[in-house]
Structure 1
Amino acid sequence: MEEIIPSLPRQATKALQINPSTSLTPSSPSIETSFAIHELIAGAIAGSAGIFVGHPLDTLKVRMQMLPSTSSTSVSALFFNSQYGSVWKGLLPPVMMAGVLNAQIFFTYGRSTQMINSYFDIRDGEQSLLRDGVCGLFTGLVSAFIMTPTEHVKTRLQTQHKSNVTLSKGLSEVIYRNGLHATHDIYQKTGITGIYRGFAATALRQGPAFAVYFTTYNALKEHASKYDQNNSLITSILAGGVAGSLSWAVTYPVDLIKNRIQAMPLDSKVNHSMVAISRQFVHENGWRALFRGFGLTVIRAFPVNGVIFTTYEFTLEALGSSVTC
């Protein structure tokens, strides 16, 4: 699950703070449109910044997930292993899709929240863990349509070697120059079904992850508001970090299986269904290996959220908007 802008749900339910310098009123349709545009721009920029900061650790995490159980390779060895190449490999696809992804998250979560609020007569801003969970689940499932091809290409770039000698089973032997080359090759060999390889696993990860994320984040923010009425940036960062870590803890094994499915050779005749790959992996490595690389993911959550929030607020201020996180 890529990092998102956790303040979007509350903005989607119109929890907005008007910039004192503007003469527009909160009820004006034009100000809502202006805020929406500013939020999408800020979300795209902040999301890209978060991906840039967290990508090296994400690359190391994915490479650790590909290692066999007998491997004693350390994180530092993976970082400096010249056969893998730079830890920045695969950066471009998620950065290019950051704007689209955040726009989808904003629109889907906002609209679904408004629909539930209207149907069940829930006031805007009123706490509802069930609503947050349901809307987060739906948002995550929809995001899988964007995430699957993006992460498929990213994973292949992150795990390919400079030589044709693979260090572990399942790594691609094709040397891709960049994301466009990888996308073209995958589509040419397997068509659109190949581009969307790992969709079921991605959806199974994204749905529960967003449900846990939004529920946890909003609950923590609601609790923290009793002690931090100004909703400071550090509170948002901590809430986002905890929510992100918890959502990864719940769905991390699915992420590992998804990455192994997407890293398999395109012409492999091996059954690459989730059930088959999961059984094989647990049989060969044990269930504890399903959390290989999880520590890197938890460590990554806090600096990424810190960069996202800082960039998000700075961008909104530069655009002439101000929101409470």
Structure 2
Amino acid sequence: MLSEDFHVVGLLAGLASGLTKVGVGHGFDTVKTRVQLGPVNHGAVHVLVATIKREGIAGLYKGASPPAVGWAAIDSVLLGSLHNYRLFLLHNGMTEQTATGPRLTLLAHGVSGLFAGLTSAPLATPIELLKVRLQLQMQKSVSDRRFKGPIDCARQLVRSQGFFGLWTGLSGGLLYRTQFSVMFLAFEACMRGLAKLNGTLLEPSVGIANLISGGVASVFFWTSALPLDRIKNQMMSHPYPLPYPESPSVARLSILSVARQIRAKEGLRGFYRGLAPCLIRAFPANACAFFVYEGILRALGAEQTR
């Protein structure tokens, strides 16, 4: 099969997964970002209603074009590298014996997720940076906005901060993406738990098990990752709500300085601003994304790692 010589099936499956995730969940992601970074700590329902009233339904999809293109690329790298890291560990002994042969240990799934997350961070950072800055524009009319779209946003950022300004917040992005170890370990643990129902009246199909496990894994992921996501997004949006500078005079924030700032102003609860819309979005979006990813792997005959 194709996957035995050149492991591109994970890339293709990740591409489809990323597009699925954007279509299902971007509106909730906009609400989460505005709750996290708004100058006033409003709840998710208030932000949702205010956004629709002021900007219409289309306001929920501000910043959607970078992830529509970018998330497909990010998930292609994330999930493609995940599949290859899993195969590497499978072929190098990080396994356990089962009745049907060797399979990866749960720890190996976590390690694969960790390195896949780090691998995707350099690509994800500029895409997330543009998404965050576009999502924070509250004006309904395009003519009233500082950034007219992702290309204009990127052009202005490069002009004021230089080319590497597109990677503002990379350290925060790397830290946040370590939590993919939690997601993929939790997904596999849930799949194994559901497999114990095989042969009973409650036995789920493989697709249903993927949906359930993907949703559950996303809850574990965001519970651990949201504080790091808040830090990353604040690094990327700095100095919002103040105007963005026209020159590289603004200092970039460090992870520790942002964490101290959030703790001082809002306490520990500040790290979990946006949790409600995040979880409301995460379960269906990631359930569908895992369903598509795992389904395509099976359809293309990818080498099994469980």
Could you say whether these structures have the same fold, taking a TM-score greater than 0.5 normalized by the shorter chain as the test? yes
> Deviation string for 1:81-115 (max 9, x for gaps)?
52797111101111112332233223322332233
Contact 1:68 1:285 in 2 (8 A): no
> Partner of 2:282 in structure 1?
301
Change in CA separation of 1:192 and 1:290 when aligned onto 2, cut-off 3 Å:
same
State whether structure 2 residue 116 is matched by structure 1 residue 142: no
SS in 2 for 1:126: strand
Contact 2:125 2:170 in 1 (8 A): yes
Mean Cα displacement is larger for which, 193-202 or 173-182? 173-182
2:48 aligned to which of 61, 76, 82: 76
Query: Following TM superposition, where does structure 1 have runs of at least 4 consecutive aligned residues deviating by more than 6 angstroms?
Result: 313-317, 322-325
Contact 2:109 2:184 in 1 (8 A): yes
| Separation in structure 1 between the aligned mates of residue 81 and residue 301 of structure 2, nearest angstrom | 22
Q: CA deviation at 1:177?
A: 1.1
State whether structure 2 residue 264 is matched by structure 1 residue 291: no
- Give the 5 Å matches for 1:41-120: 41-68=12-39, 71=42, 74-80=46-52, 82=54, 86-120=59-93
> Deviation string for 1:188-244 (max 9, x for gaps)?
21113210001111110101x210011111111112112136643222111111111
| Separation in structure 1 between the aligned mates of residue 68 and residue 43 of structure 2, nearest angstrom | 32
Give RMSD over aligned pairs: 3.1
Change in CA separation of 1:31 and 1:135 when aligned onto 2, cut-off 3 Å:
closer
Q: CA deviation at 1:281?
A: 1.8
> Partner of 2:188 in structure 1?
218
SS in 1 for 2:189: helix
Contact 1:186 1:194 in 2 (8 A): yes
| Separation in structure 2 between the aligned mates of residue 315 and residue 128 of structure 1, nearest angstrom | 23
Amino acid at match of 1:223: G
> Partner of 1:16 in structure 2?
none
State whether structure 2 residue 238 is matched by structure 1 residue 264: yes
How many equivalent residue pairs? 285
> Partner of 2:134 in structure 1?
157
> Partner of 1:276 in structure 2?
257
> Partner of 1:201 in structure 2?
172
SS in 2 for 1:82: helix
Q: CA deviation at 1:157?
A: 0.2
| Separation in structure 1 between the aligned mates of residue 269 and residue 225 of structure 2, nearest angstrom | 14
| Separation in structure 2 between the aligned mates of residue 313 and residue 129 of structure 1, nearest angstrom | 17
Change in CA separation of 1:204 and 1:227 when aligned onto 2, cut-off 3 Å:
same
Change in CA separation of 1:100 and 1:70 when aligned onto 2, cut-off 3 Å:
closer
Q: CA deviation at 1:133?
A: 1.5
State whether structure 2 residue 224 is matched by structure 1 residue 250: yes
Q: CA deviation at 1:255?
A: 0.5
Contact 1:54 1:300 in 2 (8 A): yes
Contact 2:210 2:294 in 1 (8 A): no
| Separation in structure 2 between the aligned mates of residue 153 and residue 98 of structure 1, nearest angstrom | 12
Q: CA deviation at 1:76?
A: 3.2
Change in CA separation of 1:114 and 1:197 when aligned onto 2, cut-off 3 Å:
same
Q: CA deviation at 1:310?
A: 5.4
Contact 2:226 2:272 in 1 (8 A): yes
Question: Which blocks of at least 5 consecutive residues in structure 2 are unaligned?
Answer: none
| Separation in structure 1 between the aligned mates of residue 139 and residue 16 of structure 2, nearest angstrom | 32
| Separation in structure 1 between the aligned mates of residue 294 and residue 80 of structure 2, nearest angstrom | 19
TM-score, reference length from structure 1:
0.76
Amino acid at match of 1:76: L
Name the one with the larger helix percent.
2
> Deviation string for 1:11-43 (max 9, x for gaps)?
xxxxxxxxxxxxxxxxxx447469x55654443
TM-score, reference length from structure 2:
0.81
Contact 1:313 1:322 in 2 (8 A): no
State whether structure 2 residue 233 is matched by structure 1 residue 233: no
| Separation in structure 1 between the aligned mates of residue 2 and residue 193 of structure 2, nearest angstrom | 33
> Deviation string for 1:117-137 (max 9, x for gaps)?
333363776141221111211
2:105 aligned to which of 105, 108, 128: 128
SS in 1 for 2:61: coil
| Separation in structure 2 between the aligned mates of residue 139 and residue 44 of structure 1, nearest angstrom | 15
Change in CA separation of 1:83 and 1:321 when aligned onto 2, cut-off 3 Å:
closer
